[in-house]
Chain A
Amino acid sequence: MPQLSPEDLFRNGIRVDGRRWNELRPIRMEVGVLDKADGSAYVEHGKNKILVAVYGPREAHPKHIALPDRATIKCRYHMAPFSVEERKSPAPSRREIEISKVIREALEPAILSEYYPRTSIDIFIEVLQSDGGSRCAGINGASLALADAGIPMRDLVAACAVGKIAGHLALDLSDVEDKLGEADMPVAYMPTYNSVTLLQMDGVFTHDEFAAGLELAVENCKKIYQMQKEALRRQYLEIGSEGIEANR
């Protein structure tokens, strides 16, 4: 592959993959893809392919992790060895442990864990293919899987990132854009309550860029939120129409 410079990533307002600065990658969402899990979802954000399974509320094991007043929420973000170009060791890395923690903290405000004291709710996020922004895609999938498991939630959590490439603000960075760009800022958001549940940033933004970036991220989280709602409804509407057809 030819060496790209940051300037190559943003020419005449068009990015390497043909998107404009304020465009998301194509998103696909499916709910209830795994039989054995209590809730599950499969999401694609561009080239990201992520499978999420949720179990629970179930008995907490080992017993000492159980909390007397609410459910324990466990979250594992894991990248498959074949998800990246160079084989990744399947053991959880420092990065994966940290991402697991921030995803859990991004979802916790949405979950009414006090409904199920002394139990545990387990979220498994498996990245099958990765191309930048997988923690955001993981959050989107995890909130779908939680809703699919029937766990009471205040709201669905939607997430997307904004970044800066060659001095331009850009939405939903891909892997190459993240590596050559100047900044990346993932944002998770609950639209109904207008609250941000995850805000990270690496790189450098000016104050104005940060404000514009946050606004852009929130605006697109709302778009993703609509897709999530649509995905949750779709699985039932499909079953409904099947039933009617079978009856004819």
Chain B
Amino acid sequence: MAPLLVARREIVTPGDLLAEGDLRPGDNVLREGDRIYALRVGLVDLDGNRVSVVPLKGCYFPKPGDLVIGRIVEAGLTGWEVDILAPYPALLPMSETYAKGHASKTDLSAIFSTGDLVMAKVMAFDRTRDPLLTAKGPGLGKVFGNRVVRISPMKIPRLIGRKGSMITMLKRETGCRITVGQNGVILVSGSDERAERVVVEAIYKIEREAHTQGLTDEIKEMLRKELGR
């Protein structure tokens, strides 16, 4: 198999030649002939024979199935417009909530009004139309009584960690409930305020240092020190 021309986890910039030969192109790379180039600033990743760049910056791009936390912009006739921090406004139709009755006979702003936070899933999105949300499902719907943290959506995979290692560690060490929206909005709630504050700090630290190695252990140490355990 053709080797990678750069080291794994190395920082690359747009236009960098990553591989030549039979490796397959993954995310954020471009294949031209048998060469694979980086499209974004990020870290090189090789999964089997698939070369990808894990981006360090960028906006949220909706994907069906994603859990997102958005803000109601406006109540319309049959549903709501929701800001999910993507380049496209999302639509949440009334039929995709547990609200009863007929949309034409209901005052939608009585259910969700401008400024409310909602947790929803992206039901459909194919770039030709705006993303469609659903709030039907366990835990979905209006959000209240949480700390809300916003980080770059590109750092969400790091916050979750490999097979959820980082997020499970955060939950275990602090006893807080943490809900991660793929669009970069995170909800934190816990029994004591101190733990909540420490989690928020840890999340910001993960965002800042997402590209460094051994971060899970570093965060664990920081949590233990802060919480005095």
Binding site for B on A (CB under 8 A): 38-39, 56-59, 68, 110, 112, 116-119, 147-156, 190-193, 228-229, 232-233, 236-237, 239-240, 243-244, 247
Task: Find out whether the CB atom of A236 lies under 8 angstroms from the CB atom of B211.
Answer: yes
Other 7 A-B pairs with CB < 8 A, given A154-B14, A240-B209: A38-B57, A117-B127, A147-B41, A151-B40, A155-B15, A190-B15, A239-B212
Known contacts A119-B87, A240-B209, A243-B209; is-contact A152 B15 (Cβ 8 Å) = no
Known: A56-B87, A237-B11. A243 touches B40 (CB 8 A): no
The answer to whether B11 touches A58 (Cβ under 8 A) is no
Interface contact B88-A112, CB-CB below 8 Å: no
Chain B facing A: main interface SS: loop
Q: Which of B28, B127, B212, B221 is close to A243, meaning CB atoms less than 8 Å apart?
A: B212
Contacts of A56 on B, CB cut-off 8 Å?
Answer: 59, 87
Chain A interface helix/strand/loop/mixed: mixed
Q: 6 A–B contact pairs at CB < 8 A?
A: A59-B89, A148-B41, A156-B15, A191-B15, A232-B11, A233-B11
CB distance from A88 to the nearest CB of B (A): 33
Q: Is the CB of B11 within 8 A of A38?
A: no
A147, A154, A239: the one within 8 Å of B209 (CB) = A239
**Chain A CB within 10 Å, residue with most, of B11, B13, B39, B88:** B13
Does chain A have a CB within 8 A of B128?
Answer: yes
Chain B residues near A152: list those with CB within 8 A: 14, 28, 39-40
Q: What residue of chain A has the Cβ atom nearest to residue B42's Cβ? A: A150
Q: Is the CB of B37 within 8 A of A154?
A: yes
Is the CB of B17 closer than 8 A to any CB of chain A? yes
B21 at the interface (CB under 8 A from A): no
Q: What distance in Å separates the Cβ of B8 from its nearest Cβ neighbour in chain A?
A: 16
* A229-B13 contact in complex given A154-B39, A236-B56, C-beta closer than 8 Å: yes
Interface residue B132 (Cβ < 8 Å from any Cβ of A): no
Is there contact, CB below 8 Å, between B14 and A156? yes
Q: Closest Cβ of chain A: how far from B126's Cβ, in Å? A: 10
Give residues of chain B (10-32) contacting chain A, Cβ–Cβ below 8 Å: 11, 13-17, 28, 30
Q: Which residue of A lies closest to B209 (CB)?
A: A243
- Say yes or no: B15 contacts A192, CB within 8 Å: yes
Could you say which of B39, B87, B212 contacts A240, with CB atoms under 8 Å apart?
B212
Closest residue on chain B to residue A231 by CB atoms: B13
B13 proximity list for chain A (CB < 8 A): 147, 156, 228-229, 232-233
Contact of B40 among A116, A153, A191, A247 (CB under 8 A): A153
Q: What 5 A-B pairs come out closest when comparing CB atoms?
A: A150-B58, A155-B15, A150-B57, A153-B14, A152-B39
Tell me whether A240 and B211 are in contact (CB under 8 A).
Answer: yes
Question: B218: CB under 8 A from chain A?
Answer: yes
- Taking CB atoms, residues of chain B closer than 8 Å to A150 are 40-41, 55-59, 154
Contacts of A154 in B (CB 8 A): 14-15, 30, 37, 39
Q: Are A57 and B40 in contact (CB under 8 A)?
A: no
Interface positions, chain B 121-171, Cβ under 8 Å from A, are: 127-128, 154
User: Complex formed: what's the CA distance from A165 to B41 in Å?
Assistant: 39
